Structure 1
Amino acid sequence: MNLDFDKWVALISVGFPFAAFLWEFAVVGRKRLGYRVQMDTLAADATQSPYAGVLRDMQQDGHHLKDPSFVLLRIENAGTAPIEEGDYLTPDSDPCGIRVTFRERQVAALVVTELSQDELRDAFIRDNQAVPGFGHDNHLPERQGVIRLPKVKLPVRAEYKVLVVLERWPDDQSREPFPKPVFRGAVGGRRRWFDPVLRFFRFKVARTESHVFASRPAWFGIVLLAMAVMVQAGLTLFVRDEPAPLDCVGGTLHLGGSTAFAPAVKAAADEYVKLCAAKGAHIPVDGGTFQGSGNGVAALEKTGDDAGISGEEGLRDHIAFTDGPTEGNHPQILPRPIAYTLFTLVVNEDAKVRNLSLQQVRDIYARKITNWSEVGGADLPVHLVDRYRNSGTRNALEKRVLKGRPVPEADVNDCSALDRNKPGVCEADSTDNLLDRTAAIPGALGYSEVSSVTSGRLVKLRIDDMPPTLDGVENGTYPYWQTEYAYTYGEPPADSIAAAFLRYLTDQGGKDVLRQYGNRPCSETKYPLVCRPT
């Protein structure tokens, strides 16, 4: 039998009231010994009145009580059946049914008061003598006082109260509040057939506890039941089993291309998969999915060529994303502008630079400026961390910031081999690796899509006092941006998952995801097919 989530909630909603009823009334509720600490206060707390001198002057055996305190305890039958003497879970040879320990205090006196029934009096005093099991002890090594209450036969709803007078140990100079009393004692009819089972699971039968209405297990069941009812109500009111939208297409879609645009595309892919789960949509994305704009286009072309695609119909399940239009001759692949995205120069915080002029940026990449002190920063050599040649982020930097001039070639094969005392150039294979190396090398300068910069050791550089913002791009004051393109091998069929995902990115909910990552969807520009700032 297959059960969905709301059916499981319904079963829990029915099962827990039944289980809670059995637990509360058949297991622990039948025999339940309860207590309440109705008062636990220092005599000094009550002597704010000029008429309370007697409380301050209480004595025992000729000495004044030190920090006297009063505790009023209420012991009650909170179950649904009478409590007999044989129900107390202490050895038959022990006449004491309940022990209450007062840490850091010794007992000076106690008295039983407010009996709910006169017949209870004989349970404590007989022939003017305390019955066995009723009294108190003070244990000096443990620094605690203990009162003993006998195995009192309590009819249903019967109760009695015990007033205890205590004092601080004479040699105790502390003024800290006293710990709460600790109760030990339980009842529960040891002759029931399921008691061995309860003891096996270490359940104490009707453990003495402070409560008015129900035991802790029952409270847990009641709270869980209430939560189940609320969840089921929420499912009924707000969640409906709706089919996937008509425009959803199932199948597996393979992505690739730009590492800078990857976070936004991955987030949009996750949302598409959730939206179209009923159609079996699957878009696998892992650490090797996005390998750069150039590599993505090359992989797309190879896949289409190997598949022998010809004619008007293209690949149904592959898309590559690039930062800007791809270079070279690629007659089989078709571009679609998706959004224009924002890039930023990032510098290691040790360089002590937050703003550069556009000319200073160009001079740095022309290696005319090789130390940050030349632009008002720290005395550190400039280390350029670049992307590989087929990177769309690098191409955007060269085209829009450096006026078409290429970035300098790498001096070393690995950025870790840079001489930290001399200016140098190295390359990284992805946006994440570039950012990691820039954050690790003092004086390093790199570049990235804006939303990918999360390290606290990296500073997003202003260019001519302008921060990297879409507003700056659109009013023409910030130069580092690029249009993101989606490439397909031929025209994907309208009923393919590739076409459906592109529609989702450009005309549906995918636009909201792209916007969250700092991109401007092309559909929101004046000329969507061109997709440029206006």
Structure 2
Amino acid sequence: MVGIFGVEFDFNNIVAMVSVAIPVLAFVWEFVVIRRKRLGYRLQMDTLATDTAHAPSADVLARMHDDGRPLTEPSFVLVRIENAGWREIVAGDYLTPPDDRTGIRVLFRDRRVVGMAVTELSQPALRHFFVSTRQGVTQETDGFGIDEQDGSGLIRLPKVTLNPGAHYKVLAVLERRSGSPGAAFPDPEFQAEVTGGNSRSFAWLRWLARLKLAHTESHTFASRPAKVGLVLLATAVLLQSGLTLFWPTRPAPLDCVGGTLHVEGSTAFAPAVQAAAKEYAKLCEAKGAKIAADDGAFQGSGEGIAALERTGAAAGLKGTEGLADRIAFTDGPADEGHPEILPRPVSYALFTLVVNKDAKVRNLSLAQIRAIYTKKITNWSEVGGANIPVHLVDRHRDSGTRNALEKRVLKGRSVPEADVNDCAQLAHDKPGVCEVDSTDTLLDRTATLPGALGYSEASSVTSADLVKLRIDDMPPTLDGVENGTYPYWQTEYAYTYGEPPADSIAAAFLRYLTDQGGKDILREYGNRPCSETAYPLVCRPT
């Protein structure tokens, strides 16, 4: 996305504009600049007379004489002079002094011009530029004739007035004057320029076009810059076609908002938020939407709320303004004492207790769970499992997942205080408690520590070394939550600092997450969107 004069253009727009600009510029260059006045020439023949002697009857061409003297290596040259532009070329356009009747000079190095004649005129009236009749005698005009320059042969051509498309041809006979016998002759040198007129308004145009004698060869299709332009045009069209066919871009929906959004908070809810953020950024890419949602941003519900408040306080907002680029997600409502932040229920999430498979336990009653967390049960053999001590792996106190466990499963009782911060320091032969700072860390420690018991959002549990515990014979399912037979769940909240502006990326992402395509992603991660409940603002199982 590129901004020009306040207007945003994506790559396809730029290619399309270039595709239009190239033919317009090529047309202007070719037909307005280059071909305004274009005096061109074609060297249609330059050959030795001996090169034509391929038949006995052609040998006479090599035996030409000049005043009885045989010509030395005679050669023939046929030159065509033409007006390849769309404006008339007149005598004043030739860049030579006014008293010089010659407009074009053709120099032949190592050769002498023996004779010449005008062989073709596109208009009979052009004849008067080459010959005139004085006192009954026909003779060449002053600007037309044979001459020498620096020891080389020279043909002088007059300042002929040429209408667009008009031309004439000159045939000349030459002989070798210097150089090694049989050596190739240097190419003829054409010396002429066109002024393009004396108007001051076209001075810049004359410099840009460099209106000089142009080698038009055997056609007048286009100049070299125009051909380059055509190649660029073809490249741009092919590039745009390829992008359209193989890399199609979706236009951003009307309610997309660009900018950068920062999300943070719950580690349990992070996978669902990250997936939704990735999809929103992709959907609104044309608007320049970006969402910073890496794992480092999710440090727990409590830390997310604290970071949101710090950012809001530092922003210096006035009146009813709210942060436009920051959202914190929590498992359950935040504690009291946060008057500047506003909650929005997003979904309710399914949680589960997870146990290391070595414990040989798959089902616990609520009473057994509460006994374990009050340390009345300290070995898995007491509930029918393996003879392994119970190791509790807990989240820190500001974790929403831990708060949901304490509120809904433990009936308001707190989990035991940690014996150590590093779970690796727990003794394997006796019970103990440790704490970790994220859902991923908790699942990893529980999977590797024999007899470990932890808790997490149900969709985050993927390790084969972990077992999702049934509670009172009920598996962790949303149906169980909605039927009231499974107790471990929590409402997920999105918090903003004040009310974000309606046209901000924060407001747009919340709309996407709660009322648009984000709902499908929430369901994929085992959550029930609040908009699908009977009372969306309360967002509780019915």
TM-score between both structures, scaled by the size of structure 1: 0.56
Distance verdict in 2 for CA 1:381–1:522, change over 3 Å: same
Distance verdict in 2 for CA 1:234–1:492, change over 3 Å: closer
Which residue does 2:418 correspond to in 1? 410
Structure 1 residue identity aligned to 2:286: A
Aligned match for 1:490, one of 498, 502, 511? 498
Give me the whole-angstrom Cα distance separating, in 1, the residues matched to 2:265 and 2:477.
Answer: 24
Aligned match for 2:297, one of 280, 289, 293? 289
Aligned match for 1:507, one of 492, 512, 515? 515
SS in 1 for 2:256: coil
Which residue does 1:41 correspond to in 2? none
Give me the whole-angstrom Cα distance separating, in 1, the residues matched to 2:413 and 2:262.
Answer: 34
SS in 2 for 1:512: helix
Which residue does 1:298 correspond to in 2? 306
TM-score between both structures, scaled by the size of structure 2: 0.55
Give me the whole-angstrom Cα distance separating, in 2, the residues matched to 1:314 and 1:409.
Answer: 38
SS in 2 for 1:283: strand
Distance verdict in 2 for CA 1:533–1:379, change over 3 Å: same
Aligned match for 2:282, one of 246, 249, 274? 274
SS in 2 for 1:488: strand
Which residue does 2:471 correspond to in 1? 463
Q: Does 1:380 align with 2:367?
A: no
Which residue does 1:25 correspond to in 2? none
Percentage of pairs with the same residue? 77
Structure 2 residue identity aligned to 1:325: P
Which residue does 2:268 correspond to in 1? 260
SS in 2 for 1:315: coil
Q: Which structure 2 residues correspond to residues 72-471 of structure 1 after superposition, within 5 A?
A: 241-471=249-479
**Kept after mapping to 1: 8 A contact 2:522/2:528:** yes
Aligned match for 1:523, one of 524, 531, 535? 531
Give me the whole-angstrom Cα distance separating, in 1, the residues matched to 2:467 and 2:256.
Answer: 41
* CA distances 1:345-393 after superposition (whole Å, capped 9, x unpaired): 0000000000001110010001110000000000000000000000000
Structure with bigger gyration radius:
2
Distance verdict in 2 for CA 1:412–1:341, change over 3 Å: same
**Kept after mapping to 1: 8 A contact 2:304/2:329:** yes
* CA distances 1:424-479 after superposition (whole Å, capped 9, x unpaired): 00001000000000011100000000111111100000000100000000000000
Distance verdict in 2 for CA 1:3–1:313, change over 3 Å: closer
Give me the whole-angstrom Cα distance separating, in 2, the residues matched to 1:494 and 1:265.
Answer: 20
**Deviation for aligned residue 1:276:** 0.4
**Deviation for aligned residue 1:266:** 0.2
SS in 2 for 1:288: helix
Give me the whole-angstrom Cα distance separating, in 1, the residues matched to 2:313 and 2:447.
Answer: 41
**Deviation for aligned residue 1:284:** 1.7
| Structure 1 spans left out of the alignment, 5+ residues | 9-228
Distance verdict in 2 for CA 1:419–1:310, change over 3 Å: same
**Kept after mapping to 1: 8 A contact 2:274/2:294:** no
Give me the whole-angstrom Cα distance separating, in 1, the residues matched to 2:471 and 2:249.
Answer: 51
**Kept after mapping to 1: 8 A contact 2:421/2:436:** no
Q: Which runs of 4+ in 1 moved over 3 A?
A: 2-5, 232-236, 238-242
Give me the whole-angstrom Cα distance separating, in 2, the residues matched to 1:233 and 1:254.
Answer: 35
Which residue does 1:23 correspond to in 2? none
**Deviation for aligned residue 1:240:** 5.9
Give me the CA root mean square deviation: 2.4
Give me the whole-angstrom Cα distance separating, in 2, the residues matched to 1:438 and 1:298.
Answer: 28
Structure 1 residue identity aligned to 2:501: P
SS in 2 for 1:259: coil
**Deviation for aligned residue 1:396:** 0.1
Give me the whole-angstrom Cα distance separating, in 1, the residues matched to 2:408 and 2:335.
Answer: 15
Give me the whole-angstrom Cα distance separating, in 2, the residues matched to 1:351 and 1:267.
Answer: 33
Q: Does 1:481 align with 2:489?
A: yes
* CA distances 1:96-120 after superposition (whole Å, capped 9, x unpaired): xxxxxxxxxxxxxxxxxxxxxxxxx
Distance verdict in 2 for CA 1:473–1:3, change over 3 Å: closer
Distance verdict in 2 for CA 1:3–1:337, change over 3 Å: closer
Give me the whole-angstrom Cα distance separating, in 2, the residues matched to 1:242 and 1:422.
Answer: 59
* CA distances 1:489-533 after superposition (whole Å, capped 9, x unpaired): 000000000000000000000000101000000000000000000
* CA distances 1:200-237 after superposition (whole Å, capped 9, x unpaired): xxxxxxxxxxxxxxxxxxxxxxxxxxxxx9xx89966x
**Deviation for aligned residue 1:311:** 1.8
Give me the whole-angstrom Cα distance separating, in 1, the residues matched to 2:485 and 2:511.
Answer: 32
**Deviation for aligned residue 1:313:** 1.6
* CA distances 1:269-312 after superposition (whole Å, capped 9, x unpaired): 00000000011001122231100000000000000001112321
**Deviation for aligned residue 1:239:** 8.2
SS in 1 for 2:386: coil
| Structure 2 spans left out of the alignment, 5+ residues | 1-9, 17-237
Structure 2 residue identity aligned to 1:475: N
